[in-house]
Chains A and B, each alone.
Chain A
Amino acid sequence: MSLYIKPVYLDADKCNGCVSCMKRCPTEAIRVRDGKATVRYERCVGCGECVKVCLTHAKKESCDSFDMLKNFEYTVALACPSIYGQFNHLDNLDYVLNGLLKLGFDDVFDVGYYSRFVSAATRRYIKDTDAKPIISSACPAVRNLILMRYAHLLDHLSPLKQPEEVAAEAAVEAAVKKTGLQREKIGVFLITHCAANLLNKADPDNQIDGFISLKEIYFPLLSEMNKLKASDLKPKAACDSHGVSWGCSTGESMGLGTKNFIVADGIENVMTVLNDLEHDKLGDIDFLELNACTQGCVGGSMNLENPFLARTRLRLFREKLPLVSAETDDISKYVRAKPYESKESAFLLSANRQEAMRKTILVKSIYDKLPKVNCGSCGAPTCKAFAEDVVNGLKVKCKFSKEEEIEIK
């Protein structure tokens, strides 16, 4: 029924209604109804916080199944740099990429290779724009958080495509050229560590056909990698030292030729920085690298390794790899065809201003009678959210208030 992408889903049998996820969600997208967590997907930014916090593993990322490869005649895997932090004793990136080929992909692309072009375009954009600081659009959860809750900062959001998008375009072009197949017969798959990537499906320019969880393929991949000998390896890895660094926070900022950047990771910290930007409190800053996950992509919910160790591994690769930089004067090729649009309507009380104002007054009168303890036992994350739910016509109860008090007259 819903037209919205669902980055996460609930395994209802496992959910015990503990409200942990509801309390953690940065956009108040979750409500617990009849003892089960439900998501209002129009508000979900895909941050994966609910997945990470759920002790019973009832919350999961809604990735595509590996079987989806069968729907295509030719398949390509896109591997993000954070994947290189997930293996102990990995000394050559090509083991990972060749392992993916062994799993059944016809080709594999190293996404980190494309970050140099995005960095070059970003350097150019920093020079050209007045809307500083530029906010990185690399983290899809942050991007969606801005569209939903900070649309007034949209001018600052980088309009550039991100490495996995550029890689997907390159993969399609190469596959068509190589096989002569029609686009529909070619399947481009992102091996993903993060539920927010799934929101790319709603993007009209999206070239990624399937999103496969790294968690799902990890052990089969590892076993293929273990069977490989150095002499079997096809040269597929193309990351340079910056490219591999994009897998964790600060990596992106290092390639921008400015020292005036801020790096923040973890969704709460991201919001702190956005609030300061909103109040014009950041001063002379060129770039904000904001990642919803701790330590950046290595902290995504579908990784296996702890983000700190993964980060160290990426650093060790960075030290071994050469630095290759690109330049571009014409960034038009890297600008997204369709500009980002506000998704704030998800938080409107009504599309009609008078009606919305009437509802706001009602929300306030109900809220004033509530205990304001934000206990969550009503199934809403805060007393404010509860009052909004009542006004929106949901049949909900507050343990601490008499029903007739909070009834709408």
Chain B
Amino acid sequence: MGDSIKLRYDVNGEDFVTCGQASEDVKRTLKGIGIPSATIRRVSIAMYEGEINMVIHGGGGVAEVEIFEDRITIVLKDTGKGIADIEKAMQEGYSTATEDIRELGFGAGMGLPNMKKYSDEFAIESKVGQGTTVTMTINFQEDA
């Protein structure tokens, strides 16, 4: 087994516009090592949703990504306001996004459910006032 690829991104909590750069770079990296397209799409959606949540709800943070031969692990860590009721937050359609954010097309309450749906392993930890950490693992299935 060779070494894994470790990537680290600062996700700026103020910046809506550049949001998505980390997932874009991860996508490019996965393409460079020949990961099948279907898997790339799953990674891309899951990571993008996580990045957006860090910006909109979490006030920014750090994304740490590790790519192994057979899987990718994504850890998204912010030191924002945290989530009081994780079970509720995980429900489809639940959102605390403001009207303004909804105007921008976010706030459907589908981010966390989709992140869970597209990853093979999903964990979320959060403490109110301290921050949230989401960990996702996606296995590389070869295209049928």
Asked if A360 and B32 sit within 8 Å, CB to CB, the answer is: yes
Main secondary structure of the interface of A (DSSP, over half): helix
The segment from B40-48, B84-92, B95-103, B124-132 found at the interface with A is B40-48
| Proximity string of chain B (12-46) to chain A, C-beta cutoff 8 Å, 1 when within and 0 when not | 00000000100010000101111001101100110
A357 at the interface (CB under 8 A from B): yes
A277-295 to B contact mask, C-beta < 8 Å, 1/0: 0111101000000000000
Chain B nearest CB, measured from A390 CB (Å): 14
Which bracket fits the contact residues of B? 20 to 34
Known pairs A364-B5, A364-B7; A278 contacts B45 (CB<8 A):
yes
The answer, among B24, B37, B45, B69, for a CB contact under 8 Å with A353, is B69
Instruction: Kindly list chain B residues whose C-beta atoms are within 8 Å of the C-beta of A359.
Output: 32
Please, which residues of chain A bring their CB within 8 A of the CB of B48? Answer: 278-279
Interface of chain B: mostly helix, strand, loop or mixed: helix
When A and B form their complex, what is the total count of cross-chain residue pairs whose Cβ atoms lie within 8 Å? Answer: 67
The answer on a CB contact under 8 Å between B33 and A357 is: yes
Please tell me which stretch of A60-68, A234-242, A341-349, A372-380 contacts chain B, meaning at least 4 of its Cβ atoms lie within 8 angstroms of it.
A341-349
Q: Which of B29, B69, B105 contacts A281 (CB 8 A)?
A: B105
Q: Roughly how many angstroms separate A226 CA and B29 CA in the complex, as a whole number? A: 57
Chain A residues with CB below 8 A from B2, complex form: 354, 357-358
Interface size of A in residues (CB-CB distance below 8 Å): 30
Given the complex of chains A and B, what is the CA–CA distance between A364 and B76 in angstroms? 21
A369 close to chain B: CB less than 8 A: no
Indicate whether B62 reaches chain A with its CB closer than 8 angstroms. Answer: no
Interchain CB contact under 8 A, B45 and A361:
no
Closest chain A residue, CB of each to CB of B49: A279
Instruction: Determine if A152 and B37 form an interchain contact, defined as CB atoms under 8 angstroms apart.
Output: yes
Given A279-B48, A280-B114, A360 contacting B40 (CB threshold 8 A): no
The yes or no answer to A154 lying at the interface (CB within 8 A) is yes
Chain A contacts to B: CB under 8 angstroms: 149, 151-154, 275, 278-281, 283, 342, 344-345, 347-351, 353-354, 356-361, 363-364, 388
Show the binding face of B for A, using Cβ within 8 Å. Answer: 2-5, 7, 20, 24, 29, 31-34, 37-38, 40-41, 44-45, 48-49, 67, 69, 105, 114
Known: A360-B29, A364-B7. 13 other contacts (CB 8 A): A149-B31, A278-B44, A278-B48, A279-B20, A279-B44, A280-B114, A283-B105, A344-B37, A348-B32, A350-B33, A358-B2, A360-B67, A363-B32
